[in-house]
A and B are shown apart, each in its own frame.
Chain A
Amino acid sequence: MKRSLIAIALALSAASLAAQSQIVTTVDPSQAAKVLKIAIPFPELTPPAGNANAVAVAQEVVHAPFFSVLTRDIAASGVLAIAAIPPNVPASANLAKQVGADFALQMKMWTEANDVVVEARLLDTTGGQPFGKRYRGVVASLPLMAHSLATDLVRAIYGKPGIFLSRIAFASDRTGNWEIWLMDWDGQNQRQITQHGALSILPSWSPDNERMVYTSFARGTSDMYIINRRGGGRIRIPTNLALNTSATFSPVGNDIAFVGSVNGNPDIYLIKDDGSNVRRLTSSATIESTPEWSPNGRQISFTSGRSGTPQIYVMDAEGTNVRRISFEGEWNDDASWSPDGEQLAYTSRVNGRFQIRIMNLVTGQSRIVAGEGSNEQPAWSPDGRWIAFQSNRSGAWQLYRMRVDGSDIQQLTTSGENKEPDWSKKIE
């Protein structure tokens, strides 16, 4: 898997495609509401003539792990829609015109040595080719190749990449212990990252998507750990404080904000990711919890019981200028900033159940999304279009994702119980 990550996504060097600019059609992001249509026939599986190493690949090998993943990504992109097409018609400018689409995606797939190769060309209705690229990787990498192609297509057409290569970190108890897990943005490819054999919870991504910080009770105390996204390089960050929960990397610099406690007084602290320079940011005698950095790293939201009930507050990253954000409901927690820094999503009790509330920090207006059951721990996608959250609507805690307007709710997990999603930060 690791090797195939490196192997895929080789930009096409063939002269026929290299001459083309990869991006010639770029939609102004301000016109994001305009959804362009794309016709995506099934890939042609005939090996290219003149390539002695090319061997045919079977349809069933590429259907679910590649074609389905690609079309699901595009359909969920929000900027591209898939045009209905007649069966067995190859991709061409004509096809796009016939079905009222703006583009057709031509794909050819074959195998070479141990790799599957995908050659993709985006065709517009005038005979132009705005995008072309070749990808290769082992069969197990087919979903990753599909996510890569979908990301590139959205970038080529829309000007900004899709988030189909993003990942969601979470805690799952499916092995019998709560451990840290990762999955692709669509819920596929779920893999275990920690092996503590002990309660391990609350993962949070570093801004470069390389590491996660989390809390584990592996030593019988609750400690802060950092691990890389492949499950290696695990280190414990000693703080000499209790709790060490809700740890979160600064989006700028190398600070980690977390909840530490001395003599039963939980407060917000900072520590460098090498374990040095512990600083206390809050000094209330009440409970302070759940810090989260604003995207520019200048502010930190947190939960405090200082008013008598848990409410959301925001302070400057130096601990000054504290102001209260949430006033509705008697229990609010789990604040998470939208990538543009203008909104806070948080868990808010409404009529006895927790719901996801989205507060516009500019206007001060808030709205409730989600629905059945208790819905908690919202996490924004790196493009700000989606929110992952946990819900017990099925009777057990599972992870879901929805668009920020509450539509398109999809369940992402089914095995064991799953909670505490955190979406990778950087768009790749």
Chain B
Amino acid sequence: MNNALKGFLAGIAAVALIITPACKTNKTKVKDDHVVVQPDTAPPSVTIPPNDTATRVQPTDDFVKTDTAPAVTSDVLPTDTEELNRYLQGKGLIRDAFFEYAEATLSSDAQAALTTSANWLKANSKYNLLVEGHCDERGTEQYNLALGDKRAQQAKDYLVASGVDASRIRTVSYGEERPFDPGHDESAWGQNRRAHLVLVGK
């Protein structure tokens, strides 16, 4: 295979990756697209830097769900733990689980968030995880510390059931002591009832 063809196929692969989120699990369509391209057609003039390609792909949740997460190479992840957490949360690769008032059971949304997080954690086994249980201010402090413990454990149990090694996950409850949103309305309370996932150094 000559270099031109290699570059061309890399380009195809990149296109396929970009398309993937939109077509979700329809991998055969990607294959069809590949077939459509005639081998003797002139290679596209775009020269995509091979190393950058994968990381430039916008990783949506769907992208991660199709098990292509390893395409995000770890060498471009922020080395600072705080930055790393901001980056992964910002990209939606690690997602917190939110709870109903006074509840510690996982809603389907919370389960989806944890599935996303589990996928990234499985693909990036060099990171350990701290799960913080948080509550809104409407309860009492002492009971909420216990409720936060239950929330954190529920999230941990789901991650473990999704294949993340239990020994990588530690939990702590902050009850209502460390709200994310200092407000006193429904929107703030909704933000504050969560299992917050924090990557910690190995």
Residues of chain A having any CB pair with chain B under 8 Å: 178, 199, 201-202, 217, 220-222, 242-243, 245-246, 259, 261, 263-266, 287-290, 303, 305, 309-310, 331, 333-334, 347, 354, 376-377, 419-420
Contacts and interface: CB of A to CB of B under 8 A. Distances in A.
Contacts, number: 88
B140 A310 contact: yes
Nearest to A308: B102
Given A199-B178, A264-B171, A347-B140, A245 B145 contact: yes
Given A178-B177, A199-B174, A221-B172, A264 B150 contact: yes
Contacts of A420: 141
Interface stretch (B91-99, B119-127, B151-159): B151-159
Interface in B122-162: 130, 139-143, 145-147, 149-150, 152-154, 156-157
B174 A333 contact: no
Interface of B: 102, 104, 130, 139-143, 145-147, 149-150, 152-154, 156-157, 170-174, 177-178
A221 B157 CA distance: 19
Contact of B149 (A178, A242, A333): A242
A419 B178 CA distance: 14
A305 B144 CA distance: 11
15 contacts: A242-B149, A242-B173, A243-B149, A245-B142, A264-B149, A264-B154, A264-B171, A287-B150, A288-B146, A289-B142, A331-B139, A331-B143, A333-B143, A377-B141, A420-B141
Contacts of B142: 202, 245-246, 259, 289-290, 303, 333-334
Contacts of A199: 174, 177-178
A222 B174 CA distance: 8
A201 B176 CA distance: 12
Given A178-B177, A201-B177, A245 B153 contact: no
A350 B130 CA distance: 36
A281 B117 CA distance: 36
Given A217-B172, A331-B139, A420-B141, A261 B146 contact: yes
B153 A287 contact: no
Contacts of B149: 242-243, 261, 264, 266
B141 A222 contact: no
Contact of A333 (B104, B140, B172): B140
Nearest to B152: A264
Given A199-B177, A263-B153, A264-B171, A245 B140 contact: no
A118 B113 CA distance: 69
A354 B140 CA distance: 9
Contacts of A264: 104, 149-150, 152-154, 156-157, 171
Contacts of A263: 153
Which one of B104, B145, B173, B177 has the highest number of Cβ atoms from chain A below 10 Å of its Cβ?
A: B145
Contacts of A290: 140, 142-143
Nearest to A303: B143
Nearest to B200: A220
B171 A242 contact: yes
A305 B130 CA distance: 26
Q: Interface majority SS on A: helix, strand, loop or mixed?
A: strand
A376 B178 CA distance: 18
Contacts of A334: 140, 142
A221 B150 CA distance: 15
Nearest to A390: B141
A243 B171 CA distance: 10
B173 to A, nearest CB: 6
Given A259-B146, A287-B147, 9 more contacts: A201-B141, A201-B177, A221-B170, A243-B173, A261-B153, A264-B104, A264-B149, A289-B142, A289-B145
B155 to A, nearest CB: 9
Nearest to A245: B145
A201 B174 CA distance: 11
Contacts of B172: 217, 220-222, 242
Which one of B130, B146, B153, B154 has the highest number of Cβ atoms from chain A below 10 Å of its Cβ?
A: B146
A245 B146 contact: yes
Which one of A243, A265, A289, A303 has the highest number of Cβ atoms from chain B below 10 Å of its Cβ?
A: A289
Nearest to A202: B142
A354 B144 CA distance: 14
Nearest to B133: A264
Contacts of B156: 264
A288 B147 CA distance: 9
A290 B140 CA distance: 10
Contacts of A220: 130, 172
Contacts of B140: 290, 310, 331, 333-334, 347, 354, 376-377
A310 B125 CA distance: 39
B50 to A, nearest CB: 41
Contacts of A303: 142-143
Contacts of A201: 141, 177
A243 B170 CA distance: 13
A261 B149 CA distance: 8
Which one of A201, A221, A266, A305 has the highest number of Cβ atoms from chain B below 10 Å of its Cβ?
A: A266
A285 to B, nearest CB: 10
B189 to A, nearest CB: 13
Q: Considering the complex of A and B, which 8 residue pairs feature the smallest CB-CB distances, nearest first?
A: A264-B153, A266-B146, A333-B140, A289-B146, A290-B142, A287-B146, A333-B143, A245-B145
